[in-house]
Amino acid sequence: MQRYLISFDDGAMDHIAEADFPAVGDASHAVVQQAKDAGVWIFGGGLERQQASIVATDGTVTDGPFAETKAVVGGFSIIEVPSRDDALEWAARIAAACRCAQEVREIMFDPLS
């Protein structure tokens, strides 16, 4: 089994009318429940639209990244499935529910983490 990060950029859902958000939320929650029922759901959520902080190796904290200049994650799901094809199928379900494209990336396995 492999774990996959399914994510979308901040602002990817800006095209959705405010009145449609309850339906999008219901659809998204339904897909999450399906993933939980299928035993593939690990964790996920949306990220607050806010300024992030960058902590350097020496502990110095600076502002960034800036949404105007760099894509930042707006929401994500982590699933565990047998294959990339399975991850792509779940991403398609999430994309339809959220009404925005999803990026799919395999998470590297590290037995010590």
| Angle subtended by helix axes 84-98 and 21-38, to nearest 10 | 160
- Which of 35-39, 44-48, 75-79, 85-89 has the lowest average pLDDT? 44-48
- pLDDT band of residue 53 (cuts 50, 70, 90) is confident
pLDDT tens for each residue of 24-35: 999 999 999 999
Q: Which SS3 state, helix, strand or coil, does residue 105 take?
A: strand
pLDDT greater at residue 63 or residue 40: 40
CB 7 within 8 A of CB 77: yes
Does position 74 have pLDDT exceeding 80, yes or no?
yes
First to last CA, the chain: 16
Q: pTM for this one?
A: 0.85
